[in-house]
Amino acid sequence: MPKIPGISASQAVGVFEKLGYRIVRQAKHVTMSNGVTRLVIPRQNPINAFTMGGIARDAELTPDEFRRLL
């Protein structure tokens, strides 16, 4: 069972913008970067919870930290 909820792409972008990530480009996916790490967020509504967990893990966030930033 995933510990991170499935959310919309715009909510995910908002969470990562709070962490200092900026949008690099947008198409069928939103690519964000903080200068070191690149994240690719699919434009699905909602994003699958397992996919969102992998993206959060790439950003070095724990499930609790991610939920707190929502």
Rounded to whole angstroms, what are the CA distances from 35 to 7, 39, 51?
Answer: 25, 11, 22
Encode burial over 45-56: b for 16+ CB neighbours within 10 A, e otherwise.
eebeeebbbebb
Largest CA-CA distance found in the chain, in angstroms, rounded: 32
What H or E segment, with its residue span, contains residue 13? helix 9-18
Predicted TM-score of the model (pTM): 0.90
Tokens representing 52 are 């969102």
Q: What is the pLDDT of residues 16-69, one digit of tens each?
A: 999 999 999 999 999 999 999 999 999 989 999 899 999 999 999 998 899 899
Q: Which domains does the chain have, with CATH numbers?
A: 9-69 (3.30.920.30)
Tokens representing 15 are 């969470």
User: CA-to-CA distance for 14 and 17, rounded, in angstroms?
Assistant: 5
Q: What is the pLDDT of residues 13-28, one digit of tens each?
A: 999 999 999 999 999 9
